[in-house]
Amino acid sequence: MKPAGRALRVGLLAALAAAGFSAAFVLAATGAGASTQQTTDPPTTTEPPTETTTQPPSPRQPGIPSGVTIGGLDVGGLLPYEASAAVRKAFDRPLVLVASPTRQYRVKPTRLGAQPNVKKAVSRARFSRPGAAISLDVQVDRFKVRRYVQRLGRELHRPAVDARMILRGSRVRAVPSSDGRRLLLLANARTIRTSLATNQRAPLKLELGVVKPRVTVKDLGPAIVILRESKRLRLFDRGKLVRTFGVATGQSSFPTPIGSFEITTMQRNPWWYPPPSDWAASAKPVPPGPGNPLGTRWMGISAPYVGIHGTPDSASIGYSASHGCVRMRISEAEWLFQRVKIGTPVFIVRV
């Protein structure tokens, strides 16, 4: 290359560089003494490199301040989602209802329609001061609680048992009464709702009321035992023998019935009316007086047309002589009449 051409190329490059352009020259030699061919690329603009934007990692969500409790549960230092899970788990613990030392019931809060507002409680806990006690708001379905308590009431109900007279052989014995029990529906429903609303899970002792019997031993009074074959009538009072009488009972064709009965009617100086039986078909009613076959007192029992009464025929005492009734001497029937009442048990036994 000639010195003049080289000087021209250097000047051109300097000028282009000053103007902000770049050039490329390609020289090709075709042989010795050949002419030099120059190729210039069009100028290009160089853009600054684009910077890649990277997001910084999200900061760890702050935990709940230390010592904070929700519904009595310590959630200090937990993340919100951890605290929510812990509160729900604690709330789902069953209630323990104690009816007796050997009888308990366990029931889930959800069965009673209890719904805790965990989200609200955790939100308050996040921004509370350390050691704060956050309450847990709980909605309780009163209808479901009442229905559950009513079911328990039916299961736990025990009726009272009245005292009564029972026959043992030819004697009667007084069986004492016993108290019953009932579940106090309103009081127990209120206690259960309070336990759910305050997130308490201590065992709850169910409140039971006492059901008193209507009849106790002191209310029993007298009872009569008639020994049909022995022709004896025994009067008991509260299970203790008071007195024994000789009586007449029914003939073999009209036997005095065997069984448990009670006095249903009591009459002084009664009329005698013929019963609907063949043996009395032609008989007429007999007014009170010395010839009345019922004497002066009538104590009818729950067996049809059968009663205990006096008789003017005292010679029949000790025999099977009546048409099914139990005859007594008139003075003894009057004495007995003063000591029994409607409802007095009458036991007639075969001995």
Q: Which two tokens stand for residue 301?
A: 């029992």
Nearest to 350 by CA among 248, 247, 230, 245: 230
Q: Please state the CATH superfamily assignment of the domain spanning residues 221-349 in this structure.
A: L,D-transpeptidase catalytic domain-like (2.40.440.10)
Question: What was the pLDDT predicted at 220?
Answer: 87
CATH number among 1.10.10, 3.40.50, 3.40.91, 3.10.20, domain 62-215: 3.10.20
Q: Which two tokens stand for residue 312?
A: 């003017």
Question: Is-contact 310 327, C-beta < 8 A?
Answer: yes
Q: What is the largest CA-CA distance in the chain?
A: 185
In the chain, residues under CATH classification 3.10.20 are 62-215
Which residues are annotated as catalytic?
A: 309, 325
Map residue 187 onto helix, strand or coil. Answer: helix
Phi/psi for 302 (5° steps) reads: -75, -5
pLDDT tens for the 351 residues of the chain, in order: 444 455 445 444 444 444 444 433 333 333 444 444 444 455 544 555 555 555 555 555 578 999 999 999 999 999 999 999 999 999 999 999 999 999 999 999 999 999 999 999 999 999 999 999 999 999 999 999 999 999 999 999 999 999 998 898 888 998 999 999 999 999 999 999 999 999 899 999 999 999 999 999 888 899 999 999 999 999 999 889 999 999 999 999 999 999 999 999 999 999 999 888 888 778 888 999 988 999 999 999 999 999 999 999 999 999 999 999 999 999 999 999 999 999 999 999 999
Question: Is-contact 317 329, C-beta < 8 A?
Answer: yes
In the chain, residues under CATH classification 2.40.440.10 are 221-349
pTM of the model: 0.62
Q: Which two tokens stand for residue 22?
A: 């770049």
